[in-house]
Amino acid sequence: MTRRRIRGLSASVAAAALIGGIAGAAIALSSGGSGGETANAAQDAGSAEAVYRSDAPGVVVITATQTQNVPGTLFTPPSTEQVRVLGSGIVIDRAGDIVTNQHVVDNGKGVTVGFSAGATHAAKVLGTDASTDLAVIRVKTPQSALHPLSLADSSRVEVGDTVYAIGNPFGLDRTMTAGIVSGVGRDIRAPNGLAISKAIQTDAAINHGNSGGPLLNDKGEVIGINDQIESGGTVDGNVGVGFAVPSNTVSTIVPQLIATGHALHAWLGVEVATIDAGLRNVVRNLPAHGVLVVGVVKGSPAARAGLKAGTKPITVDGVSALVGGDVIESAAGTDIRSPAELSDVVNAQRPGAEITLDVSRNGQERTLRVQLGTAPR
């Protein structure tokens, strides 16, 4: 079990130097979904220069005013302050629709979009999804000013692939950085606490202000939306570990946000942890595979089905956990070996679907039936 200190990538403009099944059918934005054309002329060029020339006009600067809580001190009470937040976004069609991160525009007022030619337009928030940290905003501008980018198939992304990030770190508009895909299939935490599965890890430098900008392959296609960085707990900037929401998630969520303003996700309501060798050395009766239930949300589908979390505290290799609860061995007929695999099974379902869970409780096997709910927004 590991713990990471993850930070979102929006930045304060005032102090820029500081800084789920999914309901609905996926569409291929790169082939005209959402009414779009592609400005992607770098399909086979491969060079960083060609990718930048092709794609930079499709990357926008997004600013919004958000209300943030200011903790109280010994001398002052808690208060709120208005903060101007800066992020990035990508144009996806000729209707003026732009994809960014939910945390860039969440509860934001006065959202504006800046284009590469220097024009700035007010934007309307069409929809947000806290479960994937995605949002769609729309601007009214001549189609000639819009340069839609293409979405690639993120399931084909492999470790070692060359990637580029374009965004607005610290307000430096349309900065390009390069790197490789460092890992695939990562789970990262969404703003509402749920897991965003199949995230792409990269060492391309991304910093505050890159939120919502594209992670591109060497053809200039979008493979992900830059979302979070690992700070390491020591610095507040890039340390070579960044994460992007995969483009296949984008292509599924975006049409829902455009059509209805929100997206639906199946929800189990359970927190689980990997069973590693260290845990096996100190805890008996653990099954050959599975994930340990360490938390069950009150009133959730998991709670109604009778799933039990551990209650006995234990520390292994400096990491604390609760043991003595259920171990989920399989879900919907699929063997489970990691939290990511359980997330994938749940994310493949629709809210209201019923699945079976094979669990081990104190060495005893049992099967539970769970009717999945709708993830909280």
Catalytic one of 133, 187, 218, 358: 133
Tokens standing for residue 15: 């102090």
Nearest CA among 210, 169, 187, 228 for reference residue 5: 228
Q: Residue 75 carries which DSSP code?
A: S
Is 51:43 a contact under the CB 8 Å cutoff? no
Task: For residue 219, give every residue at least 6 positions away whose Cβ sits within 8 Å of its Cβ, in sequence order, or none.
Answer: 40, 42, 43, 44, 45, 46, 51, 152
Catalytic one of 103, 147, 208, 265: 103
Task: Give dist(CA 119, CA 326) in Å, integer.
Answer: 56
Q: Is 211 a known active-site residue?
A: yes
Is 124:135 a contact under the CB 8 Å cutoff? no
Task: Give dist(CA 62, CA 40) in Å, integer.
Answer: 21
Nearest CA among 4, 17, 6, 9 for reference residue 214: 9
- Residue 315 burial class via C-beta count within 10 angstroms: exposed 0-12, middle 13-18, buried 19 and up: exposed
Is 286:279 a contact under the CB 8 Å cutoff? yes
Task: Give dist(CA 200, CA 216) in Å, integer.
Answer: 11
C-alpha 234: how far from its chain's center?
A: 23
Catalytic one of 30, 34, 211, 300: 211
Helix (H) or strand (E) holding 313: strand 312-316
Q: Which residue numbers are catalytic? A: 103, 133, 211
